[in-house]
Amino acid sequence: MDNIAIQVTDVEKVYKLYDKPSDRLREALGIGRGKHHTEHRALKGVNLTIRQGECVGIIGTNGSGKSTILKIITGVLNPTRGSVTVNGRISALLELGAGFNNEYNGIENIYLNGTMIGFTEKEIDEKLDSILEFADIGEYVYQPVKTYSSGMFVRLAFAVAININPEILIVDEALSVGDVFFQAKCYHKFEEFKEMGKTIVFVSHDLSSISKYCDRVVLLNQGSKLGEGSAKEMIDTYKQVLVGQYAAPEPEHERLLDDEQLRNAAKGAKDKGVQTTVSSAAEQSEPAEGAAAGGIAENPELLEYGSKKAVIKEYYITDDKGVITSAIIKGNLFTIHMRVQMAEDLQAPIFAFTIKNVRGTEITGTNTMFEKAFLEPVAAGETYEVNFTQEMNLQGGEYLLSLGVTGYEEDDFTVYHRLYDVLNLTVISDKNTVGFYDMNSKIEVQKK
């Protein structure tokens, strides 16, 4: 079709891995029998269609093949099998500064990179001022880039790639470079590209950015495409992959869990203003598993997974008067309730909630570990009532509530039960400010 920008058809990439350099030489010369290498399949028959004007995100764990497929699309690598068709001029932010000559100064590298992308000297002349203004590295642009700091190097590389005005922009983890002011500038330029109808392929571990900018998301895992769809749907599936709760289509499933960020965040983190109570409940009637109390409508398409060593049996929201509801007035207190039953003895379960917008961006949330509210062992058969009370400062609108029970077993992060987007939360407001939440500013204006 005429509106296809990138077509990836049944692409595979196989790397030959050698134990030592001599094995590569022996195989090249045909010395000895058999193979002297092992094969690593970085991509396994991936198909992908990206249409002109789309912003498509690619997510996945480390080693899933994200960078490999981008390098094949841009021509840096050749596929072992399959084909790639690209309709349009590409500017790629893969490894920032790749192709720079360390002995050249900044100006010389601007022309070198522009020529490599396919622009004429005249076209680069026309863009030079905007590149230099965007990079904002001053007189250093006339010095060899080998003398640059890493921040200056990144600024120049990004400025060259994004100001050349390509038809297709390929971005690999490049929007989180530099200081906070430069990052803001990068995201503003990225939004300009979207408004201009450019085709964008965006790889990032920043799921909020993926959710905000991408029309469609592709999920890769260990070289295979697990699926594609809306950002919200794919991000929820990706989170299952992260904790080993996704039934992968490949017969051999290696759990890839990188919870270092979670561990670091847990140390000393505390969301002030949230009151958390956890109490053991006595004998109670058991509602249907996962049922919402008080007639609140629950999401029929909620995503549920976990080992079920602990199970969320009931959940609901109450307002400041204790009335069960899904509509909260901005500025008022409200409480998120869940009742959890233990199926096994657990060392220290963590109870959590997250509030997301309708696009799947996580806006806020907390858990009993962050709050240092409950760090105790529990026994099989016990039931706990968990209540999170806080003031509603989100802007008026529609949100989704997710709940979870997790924990650590011999330092391994484990999901016992998660319910994504289980309830709708409506915030009623007669005063909305900018962004996701209201800072409740106190304003004073005086005539002098």
Looking at 258, 280, 297, the residue that finishes a domain is: 258
Element (H, E) at 405: strand 397-409
pLDDT of residue 206 exceeding 90, the answer is no
pLDDT of residue 271 exceeding 50, the answer is no
In this prediction, residue 64 has a pLDDT band, given cuts at 50, 70 and 90, of very high
Q: Is residue 34 situated within a structural domain?
A: yes
Domain match, 221 and 349 both: no
- The gap from C-alpha 44 to its chain's centroid, in whole angstroms, comes to 23
Identify the domain containing residue 135 by its residue range: 99-158
In this prediction, residue 257 has a pLDDT band, given cuts at 50, 70 and 90, of very low
Domain match, 64 and 1 both: yes
Q: Is residue 445 situated within a structural domain?
A: no
**Which percentage of the chain shows pLDDT scores above 90?**
48
Strand ordering across the sheet containing 4-17: 38-51, 4-17, 81-86
Min mean pLDDT across 77-81, 111-115, 266-270, 316-320 is at 266-270
Q: What is the largest CA-CA distance in the chain?
A: 93
Domain match, 351 and 284 both: yes
Domain match, 181 and 130 both: no
Residue 338 pairs in a beta bridge with 315, 386
Question: Tens digits of per-residue pLDDT, 3-55?
Answer: 999 999 999 999 888 877 877 777 777 776 667 778 889 999 999 999 999 99
Q: Is residue 424 situated within a structural domain?
A: yes
Q: Is residue 31 situated within a structural domain?
A: yes
Domain match, 289 and 343 both: yes
Report the CATH number at residue 214: 3.40.50.300
Report the CATH number at residue 327: 2.70.50.60
pLDDT of residue 14: 92
Looking at 117, 135, 158, the residue that finishes a domain is: 158
pLDDT of residue 330: 93
Token pair of 101, please?
Answer: 């000559």
Q: Is residue 94 situated within a structural domain?
A: no
Domain match, 319 and 396 both: yes
Domain match, 46 and 188 both: yes
Question: What's the rounded mean pLDDT across residues 322-329?
Answer: 91
Min mean pLDDT across 91-95, 144-148, 158-162, 268-272 is at 268-272
- Cα–Cα nearest to 156, from 116, 98, 196, 70: 98
Domain match, 45 and 135 both: no
Pairing mode, strands 199-203 and 168-172: parallel
Q: Name the domain count of the chain.
A: 3
Average pLDDT, the chain: 84
pLDDT of residue 269 exceeding 60, the answer is no
Q: Is residue 442 situated within a structural domain?
A: no
Question: Tens digits of per-residue pLDDT, 273-321?
Answer: 567 777 765 434 344 455 666 667 678 778 899 999 999 999 999 999 9
Q: Is residue 433 situated within a structural domain?
A: no
Domain match, 318 and 393 both: yes
Domain match, 198 and 174 both: yes
Strand ordering across the sheet containing 216-221: 90-93, 168-172, 199-203, 55-59, 216-221, 224-229
pLDDT of residue 90: 86
Domain match, 308 and 187 both: no
Q: Is residue 444 situated within a structural domain?
A: no
Domain match, 251 and 269 both: no
**Which percentage of the chain shows pLDDT scores above 70?**
86
